[in-house]
Structure 1
Amino acid sequence: MKISNIRTSTLKAPLKNPFITSLRRVDALEDLVVIIECDDGSIGYGEGAPTPVITGETMGSMIAAIEYIKPHIIGLEIEDLDTILDLVHNLILKNTTAKSALEIAFYDLKAKASKQPLYQMLGGTQTHFKTDITISMGEIDKMIEDSLDAVNLGYDTLKIKIGDNPQKDIERVKAIHSALDKNIKLRLDANQGWTAKESVSLLHAIEKENIIAEFIEQPVRADDIEGLHYIKERVQTPLLADESIFSVKDAKKLLEMQAIDYVNIKLAKTAGISQALELADLSKAFGVKCMIGCMLEGPISVAAGVHVASAKADVITMLDLDAVSLLASHPVETSIVFNESEIILSDRVGLGVSLVTSF
């Protein structure tokens, strides 16, 4: 299977509701799709979401990065995946989402060549998972309404977006917690919205109400490593690092400092599947569990995340792969069956992409 062409397209889909965090508001999905064609007619699909406020990438920069890498890859055999991945990661720095979209497509092709679902090629066996669902930041009444709607759909874990107003954040969490049955788990995500001292004060206020969230995700700026350590030493609520971890090197520093409780793996940050697998292995070596998350992504990249979760199910124990559930329509089918909070892997070869829309 020799690579004969690499091209890109755009995947667009409306959201059921605006996606609102302390960093951004998104009203519709617009992702980049990578299509890699081989001389035997095989096609691999990858996907990435431009997220300028997190990865620094736009749709234009992602396309430019892929076009830069493309001539070095054309003509190579997909069986020599290690060489291909070395080129992708060494020809250009950063551009993690563009690299991830390429990697997903390469792994899709490699699994197709082996006539296996990707998760099986990666050594995974688990096929059933549960994900949380994101409750966008907003007025308290709206957040309560959205939380109750999610529970009625079968979700038992909600990720609550906060971080724009410290006092209001406390009231949001208290109100949502009071409105729900006590068996509903809350995950809090401040998206870098607080300082370290604010984080400790706010979490103490929440904990005094006997509310211990499953974790607080990235309360401080991505580069505030000491802030994460400061928080962890002073609160009961477990601390999960997201934007502070793009690479295995980033994670190793935090884990050696004992500055966090959990690691959030996102393919768009790790530059794809290969380093996501390494990050999971590193976390396991430190005895730290992982969550696998996503940006506001479509079915192809979310499917890749589920396959990685299966491959590393012993350490990736939490899923935040709800992006497809936030879409008002599903323009692409994959090997993943989404039944609200339940995610099921089928036995389709590769990522099992079946186009509903045309690329």
Structure 2
Amino acid sequence: MEKVSFVIDDALAFIVRAPLVTPFRISTGQHDELENVFIRLHASDGACGFGEAAVATHITGETVAETLENLQSAASALRGRRITDPAAVCREFAPAFADNHAALAALEMALLDLSSRVQGIPLYRLFTPIAGQPRLTFKTDITVVIGSVEEARATARRFAQRGFDSFKIKIGKDEEQDLQRVLAVREMAPGCTLILDANMGFSAQRMLAFLDRLDAGGARPLLLEQPVPKQDWEGLAAITAALEGSGTLVCADESVGSLASARRAVETNAVSAINIKFMKSGILEGVEIARLAAANGKRLMLGAMMESALAITASAHFAAGLGCFDFIDLDTTFFLKGDLSRSPYLDDSGRFDLTGAGSGIGVVPELP
């Protein structure tokens, strides 16, 4: 990242809420609304940078209250400060957010947004490509949340008609119903890519048996995400070994939230893919995880928590700049109502196009 100089004359952290179209249900809990913490950094030349912390207490244990407090403290420390190396400032603050990575992601996002706005360049240009060059167009999958078979069928039908061709199905609450839900999605979108996300809801043995039943129904998934509890490295490795050569990749999500855990996944060959999320690792550490995975032949997914258009668009810049992601799971704006559901570079079919991106992230949320 190039050096840049600006002075932060004001900083503000605040809570943002937005209604959902439908509850976002997974095996470990659900979101009934978006309640995230935003931070705005205002430079003396008038430019602003924004960041978002998506708090998923049922997944990470973080809370909105602690995230707001931590970002308010960071905002106070940044007021009046001249920034010449945004990445160095991000690293400086990282230890204070050791147990609150969503807040770290928000701070990094705001600093990088402001830096790229001051330079007059799109955010993606701050990231050095891993795969040779930026990749400015790509499509996201769409998530089929935990629910009834009819809900799964209706979701698949609706989004297939809009042009989606990759469906990520949440499983792990009721195996019999899960089986029928996956088969219903396959029926409604027969040519689609299937991704299953168990959110830690299975044991290794039960997961492999479940996949055998899907095989019998002609619904083999391309990717299986976090089938077992996050500390069950032996279970992950057993599933990965059993599925070698089958055409199904095993992806770590909850198990890999840091560079250290990514190293463990790589060194033990526990998985064949890794899901990077800003809210798990922060942004700069996410870059390091991506580089490590790519260097060791692991496939990469880019995901999100329940994030608004601000963080989702920032993640799209990240994917574009690094150019190395095989799977894009940046669909949470389709579950939101209102202005925060609108990314300027995402269309109704799930296609991101950053070829004409302006400076910064490109999303300016309203202050409360």
The answer to whether TM tops 0.5 is yes
Correspondent of 2:68 among 45, 50, 63: 63
Paired position in structure 1 for 2:272: 261
Equivalent position SS for 2:339:
coil
Residue ranges of structure 2 left out of the alignment (5+ in a row): 1-5
- Code of the residue aligned with 2:252 in structure 1: it is A
Contact 2:101–2:280 under 8 Å retained in 1: yes
Q: Is the alpha carbon distance of 1:80 and 1:240 closer, same or farther for their aligned partners in structure 2, counting shifts above 3 Å?
A: same
Deviation at 1:333, TM superposition (A): 5.6
Paired position in structure 2 for 1:76: 81
Deviation at 1:71, TM superposition (A): 4.0
Equivalent position SS for 1:290:
strand
Once superposed, what is the RMSD of the aligned Cα atoms?
1.8
Deviation at 1:250, TM superposition (A): 0.6
Structure 1 position 26 matched with structure 2 position 31: yes
Correspondent of 1:144 among 153, 164, 181: 153
Q: Which moved more, 1:230-239 or 1:132-141?
A: 230-239
Paired position in structure 2 for 1:87: 92
Deviation at 1:218, TM superposition (A): 0.5
Paired position in structure 2 for 1:295: 305
Structure 1 position 228 matched with structure 2 position 233: no
Deviation at 1:186, TM superposition (A): 0.9
Q: Is the alpha carbon distance of 1:150 and 1:73 closer, same or farther for their aligned partners in structure 2, counting shifts above 3 Å?
A: same
Contact 2:148–2:177 under 8 Å retained in 1: no
Between the aligned residues of both structures, percent identity stands at 29
- Code of the residue aligned with 1:150 in structure 2: it is F
Correspondent of 2:43 among 15, 38, 43: 38
Paired position in structure 1 for 2:285: 275
- Code of the residue aligned with 1:19 in structure 2: it is F
Contact 1:228–1:259 under 8 Å retained in 2: yes
Paired position in structure 2 for 1:213: 221
Contact 2:223–2:251 under 8 Å retained in 1: yes
Contact 1:325–1:340 under 8 Å retained in 2: no
Contact 1:166–1:194 under 8 Å retained in 2: no
> CA–CA distance in 2 between the matches of 1:56 and 1:296?
15
Deviation string for 1:257-291 (max 9, x for gaps)?
111111101000012x2111111111111011211
Paired position in structure 2 for 1:320: 329
> CA–CA distance in 2 between the matches of 1:306 and 1:342?
10
Q: Is the alpha carbon distance of 1:36 and 1:281 closer, same or farther for their aligned partners in structure 2, counting shifts above 3 Å?
A: same
**Count of aligned positions:** 355
> CA–CA distance in 2 between the matches of 1:231 and 1:337?
35
Equivalent position SS for 2:346:
strand
Contact 1:296–1:323 under 8 Å retained in 2: yes
Contact 1:10–1:32 under 8 Å retained in 2: yes
- Code of the residue aligned with 1:26 in structure 2: it is H
Paired position in structure 1 for 2:211: 203
> CA–CA distance in 2 between the matches of 1:102 and 1:199?
38
Paired position in structure 1 for 2:361: 351
Paired position in structure 2 for 1:241: 252
Contact 1:114–1:121 under 8 Å retained in 2: no
Contact 2:274–2:299 under 8 Å retained in 1: yes
Deviation at 1:295, TM superposition (A): 0.6
Residue ranges of structure 1 left out of the alignment (5+ in a row): none
